[in-house]
Structure 1
């Protein structure tokens, strides 16, 4: 596997949306659906890719992971379900750390134990737990912080 990291382009938006939707439906199936597939695709095509710092991990021309950074926050981070547990997420998060060497923050859902173990194993520390009242899904979450 030869992973290449690059900024997403408008031409990538449809494939980015596919990874986003599949990842949310797979790993976070317990979450309420926030928007239809068409609404999510429109968000990715018209807002996320063109307006945000969106990165993709590409393997042999296929997008296998998506990372959106906003200042020092990991705003979105998804690995295609078939590519999980093969080192892609680890490499993508290491890329984010190189892009933000002073530190990163991210939110994870409290009941997403695999994601929480993943972040904790890579040096992220839980800093704040909430009941989810302020997130779109209304799901209890946890704020993580990584500092070098």
Structure 2
């Protein structure tokens, strides 16, 4: 477990089965706030089922837990990919994302890659600030949302 230096304190910890719904709900709120023009191919319940049956049990999933127990962030690592990093909209800019990226680099010291949508300019700036560089741009034909995206890599 890693304490995050925000106020009030936030704890980063491995997700358990009991966190799946809360993690999915953070994902849903964050996606809606950050990507209002991107069409989701899954319903809210399908997203929750995916977190419950796939993401939490099969992937290295971490949550940010605020004082009082509320899950306010989720990060998912799949092999060398930073597959997901989402924060509750009211927790952006509080340092939680920075801590998640530091943790991801600690967990994958040989390097990481990730995908983000081209329209997500704040995320692109965030990853670039953390040393990721864009290496591939697509028209979105290979993602579920059919949204143009960009692949980033971080190499130590």
If the length of structure 2 is used for normalisation, what is the TM-score? 0.91
Q: Distance in 2 between matches of 1:70 and 1:31?
A: 23
Q: Does 1:55 align with 2:62?
A: yes
The corresponding residue for 1:14 is 21
Q: Does 1:141 align with 2:149?
A: yes
Q: Does 1:37 align with 2:44?
A: yes
Shift of 1:3: 2.5
1:12-40 C-alpha deviation (Å, 9 max, x unpaired)? 11111110111111101111022111111
Shift of 1:51: 1.4
Unaligned runs of 5+ in 1: none
Unaligned runs of 5+ in 2: 1-6
Stretches of 4+ aligned residues off by more than 6 angstroms: none
Match of residue 31, structure 2, among 12, 24, 30: 24
If the length of structure 1 is used for normalisation, what is the TM-score? 0.96
Q: Alpha carbon RMSD of aligned pairs, Å? A: 1.0
Match of residue 83, structure 1, among 81, 91, 94: 91
